[in-house]
Amino acid sequence: MPRVLGFIQATHAGPTAAVTLVITLLALGLGWRGFGLAGVFLAVLIGQFSVGWNNDAFDAQFDMRSGRTDKPTVAVGISAKALWIAAGCSLVISCVLSWAVAGLVGGSFHVFALAMAWLYNTVLSRTWWSWLPYALAFGAVPAFLTYGLTGEAPQLWLPLSFAIVGVSAHIANALPDVDTDRAAGVKGFVISLGVVRATRLCWLLLVIGTAVLAWESAKSSLWYPVALVITLACAAVYARMSKSRTATFNAILVCVVAEVVVLLASASA
């Protein structure tokens, strides 16, 4: 049982659930239904499993040297080899599902997003360019869904806002590990900026991404941008007042879910 729980933990369950929920809600808002929607859900969920397992497999030696007892490779002794095998198998399954449910063009955008996530894990996570795979991966998601559903490209504002908010989420996710990474000699994008500037950039990007959606949703109802502004303000207050290391990431997650709900509602209006 500890090993099973360790494998679940290695999927990075929180971010995995968040990404899967957001993309599934977006698919619902764009018109996916039934087996197609279920296929999108499974393709994204299994793909995120591969990303989490790949991350912990690649970082196994680093986590061991750093004494990261919160990692299953350290806490319960799951081997990097076992995680690599699980990551590879789930990646293949996710790619096949992506092409099956969204066609060659649409599915390839999700495969591209997964490739960017693996590139981040294995090459760019500890460099100044760590933000780039997030921008490209999240920016590709709307095309995966629109090409898969209608064979048409998404409106430009949709991948743009996803890319911007994706980078914001990356910064928020990296902030809690700044001290550990700095002590290990890591020189990534967030560390190069410093905590203060990185936090400011994180919120600036979220505001810009939210503003793009607010502008578009206002065409359906003025209540949508009002709801987004209120959610953003409450999230900012929570992140400011909370002492949790993951407060900023959690606050941004709430904002992203709210944005997708607004997108869903405005598309149905």
Q: Calculate the alpha carbon distances from 20 to 26, 187, 205, 244, 257 in Å.
A: 10, 30, 21, 24, 11
**Whole-angstrom distance, CA of residue 137 vs CA of residue 201:** 19
Note down pLDDT in tens along the chain; length 269 residues: 577 888 888 898 888 998 999 999 999 989 999 999 999 999 999 999 999 999 988 887 777 776 676 677 776 678 889 999 999 999 999 999 999 999 999 999 999 999 999 999 999 988 999 999 999 999 999 999 999 999 999 999 999 999 999 999 999 988 887 877 777 667 789 888 888 899 999 999 999 999 998 998 898 888 899 999 999 999 999 998 988 878 888 898 889 888 888 887 776 65
Look up the pTM and report it: 0.90
Whether the Cβ atoms of residue 210 and residue 227 lie closer than 8 Å to each other: no
The crossing angle, in degrees rounded to 10, of helices 34-58 and 80-119 is 110
What is the rounded CA–CA span in Å between residue 79 and residue 254?
34
CATH T-level fold of 155-269: Four Helix Bundle (Hemerythrin (Met), subunit A) (1.20.120)
Q: What residue spans define the domains of the chain?
A: 1-152, 155-269
Q: Could you say which of 3.40.190.120, 3.20.20.80, 3.30.710.10, 1.10.357.140 is the CATH number of the domain covering 1-152? A: 1.10.357.140
Cβ contacts of residue 240 below 8 Å, gap of 6+? Answer: none
